[in-house]
Each structure stands twice: as C-alpha cells, then as structure tokens.
Amino acid sequence: MAISEMHPVHRFEPWQVWPGSYDNKFIPGAYPHKKDQGLVIDKSTPVASMGSCFAREIRKVLIREKYNYITKETYHPASVHASAAWERTYNTFSMRQIFEYTFESFNPETRWWITPETGQVQDPYRRIILYDSIKEAQKDFQAHIKCSKEAIMDAKVLILTLGLTEIWEDKKDKSVICLPSGPYFNEGAGKNEYLFRVSRYQENLENLETIYKIVKKHNRDCKLLITISPVHLWATFRDDMDVISANCNSKSTLRAVADEFVTNHGDVFYFPSYEIATNFTMMMNQTCFVKGKENFHINQETIELIMKHFFEFYG
C-alpha cells in the first residue's frame, strides 16, 4: 500500500505560507504580503477616510507624513476623526447614511434630539455634536453636506474603517444611530425609542454595496480601501454573550463581509490592519494593547507597525 504525502505538491509564494513554518522564514516586523497590491498611493494622491476610532489614527499618520490627506471643516471638533465632520462611524449603517445624506436623501423621522434638562440640540447621526438651537444645527448641517460632498468627490482613494456590528435602530423608521450617547441619553431620554440588535453579514454587505454605487456615481475614479478596526469592543450591549466573544463575532463578520466586497470589485482593496495588530504582534510576543483603563485600544507601537506596512503595501 502506498503512503500519501501529508501535503500536496504545490509551489507557494512566501506570503502564502505561515511565517516560520517548515522552512519558510519568519522575519519579525515584516508582515508577509504581495509586492504588487494593485493600488498605489503616493504623497500626491488625494486620500479621504472615515470610520471608527482607528480611522483617526490613520488620519494622524497620513497628515504627519505629509500625504495629500483631505481635510474639510477643520474648525469643527468632529473633523478630528475623519476627512470631514462625520464624527466616528462604528457601523456600516452609519456610513451608508452619510453617503445618502450627502448625495441623495436621508430624512429620518427624528432629525434632532432635544435634551430634556439642558435643552441642547444633539445630532443623533453624528455621535456627540451639540448645538444651542435647531436653527444653528440646520445651518451647520447644510455647510457640512457641502464639505462632505467635496471630500468624497476630491478623493482618489477613500479608506473605510469598519468597526462593529452592534447597532441601535429607531423603532419608527429603522434609521441607525452610531451609539446611544451624549446628554440626550444621559438626561434620561431615548431609552424607549431605539432597538438594540446585532446586524448580520448580508445587510452589512448590502450597506457597502450601496456606498460603492453612490461613490461611483459621483466619483468614478475613486478607489475604495477597506480595513477592519483593530480596536476591540469596550463593552457589549448583548446579554447572551461575553464581551470577548461578542468582539470576535463582530470582527469576524465584518472581515468576511470585506472579503466578499473586495472580491466583487476590481477597484476595491483590503488592508490587514486587524490582522497585523491581533495576529502578527502576537507572533512577535508583543502586545497590541495600550496599558491602563482603555486597554481595548491599540498602542502607538502597533499603530506605527500598521502604518509602516500601509506605506510598504501602497507606496
């Protein structure tokens, strides 16, 4: 009886083989990757980004390294997270709504929150942005739409950082808020207006496909670069699962969504921020987490490692 070989005869590239396995050399600090990623970003390329907390870190490094990073509404506190005052967008629903209100229509039944105690006006769809009056809020939002449109239409590369799958839906019209936060909730409102649920694979994929169609309609030459935020859940609203498992489910779902989305389009690319932070640092016996009470965030060393590879991938 013949004995079969354990592995099939096949010629793999080094980046296709697990680093350090058999005779494939492990090089600390060098994440395995193809040399030609099919996307080039140099310092003249107009780049815009939006997304979760990690999008802010990408923005900081690109500006620091003097890349052509698009910045609009620089006077606005919410613009520190992205190319315009989109604030942080943790889920694909909030992202889709940005593209809808920028280029099409987004008319939720509840457009503004009025805080019950202090009487402030809060924007439900841009996390914590506050105004003294609805008139002021409407004026600022119209200016924001103009800047949002410019940022997206000027971009040759648009980076979307996907964060989590937990969402809060308005019970009336299914519009999604980024997070139940700010004075509106702190002062006791909103608790019976929104339904918490975990979004699933297909609807997140559909959100990205909708974003793609809108972008291509208005900026045909723009390429999309998708990445998964390596920042972990601080807490989960789920009562059927612990926070570590909920985080794993969230990131795994979005990673699978990103894979199909990239496969569907020749001008959409994936960058492994999450894999570099969670897998590659562990292989080097390093932690990706900051110390202290915010240890769900990634540390500066890991941010620099991720962005070093960003420049190697696309530079």
What does the pLDDT look like over 260-279, one tens digit per residue?
999 999 999 999 999 999 99
- Write down the pLDDT at residue 8: 65
Q: Which amino acid, residue 233? A: L
**pTM for this prediction:** 0.94
| CA atoms of 55 and 41, how far apart (whole Å) | 17
- Write down the pLDDT at residue 9: 73
Q: What is the mean pLDDT of the chain?
A: 95
Name the nearest CA neighbour of 44 among 168, 193, 191, 156.
156
Note the pLDDT tens digit of each residue in 38-73. 999 999 999 999 998 899 999 999 999 999 999 999
Mean pLDDT of 189-199: 95
Q: Are 24 and 14 in contact (CB under 8 A)?
A: yes
Q: Are 52 and 44 in contact (CB under 8 A)?
A: no
Report DSSP letters for 208-257, one per residue: HHHHHHHHHHH-TTPEEEEEE--PPPS----SSS-HHHHHHHHHHHHHHH
| Residue 204 DSSP SS3 | helix
- Write down the pLDDT at residue 102: 98
Beta bridge partners of 177: 168
Note the pLDDT tens digit of each residue in 87-129. 999 999 999 999 999 999 999 999 999 999 999 999 999 988 9
| CA atoms of 187 and 122, how far apart (whole Å) | 12
Q: Token digits for 310?
A: 């960003």
What is the helix (H) or strand (E) element at residue 280, kind and residue range? Answer: none
- Write down the pLDDT at residue 127: 86
Which fold would CATH assign to domain 38-107+146-165+199-314? Rossmann fold (3.40.50)
For the cut 90, the answer to whether the pLDDT of residue 162 exceeds it is yes
